Structure 1
């Protein structure tokens, strides 16, 4: 199963519905044809309908169907009204991009298409298009076209983007277009009806229907998206739906469609949408500041809080967020948090898991105090913490900064040449700034890890132990016992980061 963004990449010059997209309509393993008539005791008689039992039976069925529909048609009418209210606010986005080629090779031009929704912000007047970062990534406002419901094409006058939440905002130089109403994703319930709107396979302003299948989803495959708290839906989301709205039955946007889980690249009923409360906060911060200042505590969270870890701490189930490490001289350290504490509530909000805590703290006002309820020594304890800018709470590099970077030597272990990945080198290698681990600089073909590692990979953990330095990875990889190794590797791919987990005997 693969997680992939729901946008479409077209070769240059391939604009147009269905052109160059690589899909076929109607193929399902055989030709499409009318079904054969059901067998009867006698030969099929063609001509005018005959009076008799069969005709009377059909008439009664249609009469009963009409009666049932009279009781049900208000639901049918609701779907029609939601679509009619929201479709004029949905846009089709085409971004002209160029690929990064090897030196001396031609630069390939291509277009990536996705969706968006016209909205208003509390931070500024005018109209904006809310979409995904990966839809417009690498593009510039004058290379982006926004196609409206009536076919008109607009060019945005400004663009903001945030890779950590995969949210982008386009400013329109218009104030006379319909805009969508934004709902409250915190009150969305599993089982609620929703509609997904967008341009699947370039088929603009399409509508599909489903329910909320789950809340709080997180995918390791989207490692570059740190603010993950996805709504899962079975409403059909396909390539081209990225950035389009997920709406409730009041016509309110509750999510921004983002990605799908699929074994073949198309819809299999597992789609993911960014909650609108998160997307709206990101949008407002981008418009107001040009960037997203996130709150931080200065902790590293355990991303594998299993029942046995909860039981060892006296909890009946994994709940809240387990702290793996507290960085020194951070709000968490000053508040008295310790390694192994479990955060149960933050600022009065019950915490579901680590992603919920990350998003809750991210959106909390920097410099403001908050009450923490933690689980320590088999009981609840209350602490006060003052949230700081996340960039200041990431902690120092594991290796001493006093050593000049030029003098930093690579660590060689088991045929792998490794260097420590810090914030600066992470950005240079195409990873999020917060990525930590051991960067694979070179791989000896004779290495026992040659089949799973390649230059440019980052070893994120070994046997579920997070890696902070090259030497730490070297020590764990050179184990002498016969037990297999569980190795987590982050790998850049087409502007995103894929996470792979390997078991090595």
Structure 2
């Protein structure tokens, strides 16, 4: 009986063992199971050469790549569209006159400008460079609008010292550009230059702010005393003068005025008047017909590398006082010949031009604090800013930076 029981139970035992093994395999941890190979997706960037519809696949890939830059491209497009409507092409008939006032010859020059509004006076105005319309009368100036219309200004306001001119328009229903804050335009900022290079109206070029606080002796010799230019590599060429330099918010941050070039065209170095300086001149011109500049009654001299140690400085900076006017704010405040002004109202003074701009744009009658380096010590001095014309007529002209190479600077 026992054999019979053992023999009969054998199939049942085998069946139970099989089921137990199957259950054990199914319950094994995942780490113990073999890992299936990962399916590799084909590279969709560029198809293999020779495949059918390869061009279509490339264009599809480019379309996907372009979507990543669409917003940047759209920003440039919108800035160009909104600003171009406010940019004008200026043609000025100029008269070369003799000392007796007779016209020797006439010729045309062209430039650019931008339509703006003022805080001081109602209406619309074209902000441009003085050298674009210098020597021209009202009837000599033609303003060509974006829509093809032509206007003539109803009034002209000029300031040679800043190379700013303002043309009053006879209409008040045109697109106006927004003015930004040029103090925020740091090197590396993306910018667009809009204007009429070589007469090609409403052209747009793109670049960055390359540097700040540039000056040029050639422009000083031509009467431009307020120099604090923005430098840009956006293409600026003859005909761009007076046109706007704008940021990617569509705000005007500069008025293009000159290019550094040996060949007369763009070589990657252009200069723009910061809009804060241009607007300061414009508002005064519109308020009183002239620009009143501040002064404290001193003559200045640049500090060169061979001088700074002798003057007790750690590097060439500030500006050296070469003369002090009698009964001037500077003399009354205690400034002496030989002092080096290193700070103005808390701002470090970089060079002569930097101080000239800060003093001249300070409201007349305002008290300011200067710090001068004297015998190795920093001495604070307080002075009251007076009118430039009243104080500087008997003083020598301020010192100027080193002369640039002949034919280097071009007025576009």
Give me the TM-score of the superposition, normalised by structure 1: 0.67
For this pair of structures, how many residues does the alignment match? 360
Q: How does 1:101-500 map to 2 (within 5 A)?
A: 107-223=104-220, 224-303=223-302, 305-394=303-392, 396=394
Q: Note the C-alpha offset of 1:152.
A: 0.5
Partner secondary structure for residue 221 of structure 1: helix
Q: In 2, are the aligned partners of 1:120 and 1:126 still within 8 Å (CA)?
A: yes
Q: Which moved more, 1:318-327 or 1:113-122?
A: 318-327
Change (3 A) 1:332 1:497: farther
Partner secondary structure for residue 392 of structure 2: coil
Please list the CA deviations of residues 266-325 of structure 1 after superposition, one character each: whole Å capped at 9, or x if unmatched.
Answer: 11111110000000000001111111110011111113x123322223322122222222
Distance 2:103 2:340 in 1: 53
Rg larger for: 2
Q: Note the C-alpha offset of 1:168.
A: 0.3
Between the two structures, name the one with larger relative contact order (CA 8 Å, sep ≥ 6). Answer: 2
Change (3 A) 1:221 1:110: same
Q: In 2, are the aligned partners of 1:255 and 1:274 still within 8 Å (CA)?
A: yes
Q: Which moved more, 1:376-385 or 1:82-91?
A: 376-385
Change (3 A) 1:185 1:308: same
Change (3 A) 1:55 1:227: farther
Q: In 2, are the aligned partners of 1:218 and 1:229 still within 8 Å (CA)?
A: yes
**Residue 72 of structure 1: aligned partner:** 69
Structure 1 vs Structure 2 CA RMSD: 2.8
Q: Which moved more, 1:275-284 or 1:62-71?
A: 62-71
Q: In 2, are the aligned partners of 1:94 and 1:111 still within 8 Å (CA)?
A: yes
Distance 1:132 1:435 in 2: 23
Distance 2:324 2:174 in 1: 49
Change (3 A) 1:293 1:248: same
Distance 1:133 1:119 in 2: 16
Partner secondary structure for residue 96 of structure 1: strand
Q: In 1, are the aligned partners of 2:255 and 2:273 still within 8 Å (CA)?
A: yes
Query: Which is helix-richer, 1 or 2?
Result: 2
Q: In 2, are the aligned partners of 1:296 and 1:389 still within 8 Å (CA)?
A: yes
Q: In 2, are the aligned partners of 1:328 and 1:395 still within 8 Å (CA)?
A: no
Please list the CA deviations of residues 71-104 of structure 1 after superposition, one character each: whole Å capped at 9, or x if unmatched.
Answer: 1111111100100110000001111122235989
Q: In 1, are the aligned partners of 2:193 and 2:243 still within 8 Å (CA)?
A: yes
Change (3 A) 1:60 1:197: same
**Residue 44 of structure 1: aligned partner:** none
Change (3 A) 1:103 1:174: closer
Distance 1:107 1:306 in 2: 44
Distance 2:289 2:321 in 1: 31
Partner secondary structure for residue 284 of structure 1: helix
Change (3 A) 1:335 1:70: same
Distance 1:320 1:62 in 2: 58
Structure 2 unaligned residues grouped into runs of 5+: 1-47
Partner secondary structure for residue 313 of structure 1: coil
Change (3 A) 1:488 1:234: closer
Distance 1:127 1:277 in 2: 18
Distance 1:104 1:182 in 2: 39
Change (3 A) 1:297 1:264: same
Partner secondary structure for residue 104 of structure 2: coil
Q: In 2, are the aligned partners of 1:346 and 1:370 still within 8 Å (CA)?
A: yes
Structure 1 unaligned residues grouped into runs of 5+: 1-50, 398-433, 437-459, 465-486, 499-505
Q: Note the C-alpha offset of 1:358.
A: 0.6
Change (3 A) 1:105 1:131: closer
Change (3 A) 1:497 1:360: same
Give me the TM-score of the superposition, normalised by structure 2: 0.81
Q: How does 1:49-64 map to 2 (within 5 A)?
A: 53=50, 58-64=55-61
Please list the CA deviations of residues 371-402 of structure 1 after superposition, one character each: whole Å capped at 9, or x if unmatched.
Answer: 112222223221110111111221636xxxxx
